[in-house]
Amino acid sequence: MAKVKEVQRIIDQNSVVIFSKTWCPYSSAAKQTLNRLKVQYEVVELDNRHDGDDLQDALLEISGQRSVPNIFFGKQHVGGNSDLQELARSGVLKGRLEEAGAFA
């Protein structure tokens, strides 16, 4: 329960959050996409934290997704890299990021 509160606090305090692992190519692709748009975002590298597995369990409870990357815009769950890339392909990614305050 404490980890659910911690993860929710991270989500609530940041306009864009990626829960990631340093070795994950899908996490890297998601970060590259946001970097190209010059988005301000918070990254939580789960494999660099002693409680990373617990945070992933909390993410499952919050979002229904345990895999990484696990992405949130404006406190709303976006999904993973494939969901992010689909938003980019469909032309709505920048608008969603603007709504979340990612360019402030």
Q: What is the pLDDT of residue 8?
A: 98
Instruction: Give the domain CATH number at 46.
Output: 3.40.30.10
Phi, psi angle pair for 51, to nearest 5°: -105, 20
pLDDT score recorded for residue 1: 74
How far is 4 from 99, CA to CA, in rounded Å?
25
Q: Structural domain tally of the chain?
A: 1
Domain that holds residue 73: 2-100
Each residue's pLDDT tens digit, 65-82: 999 999 999 999 999 999
- Using a cut of 0.85, tell me whether the model's pTM lies above it: yes
- pLDDT tens figures, 15-63: 999 999 999 999 999 999 999 999 999 999 999 999 999 999 999 999 9
Segment 93-98 shows an average pLDDT of 96
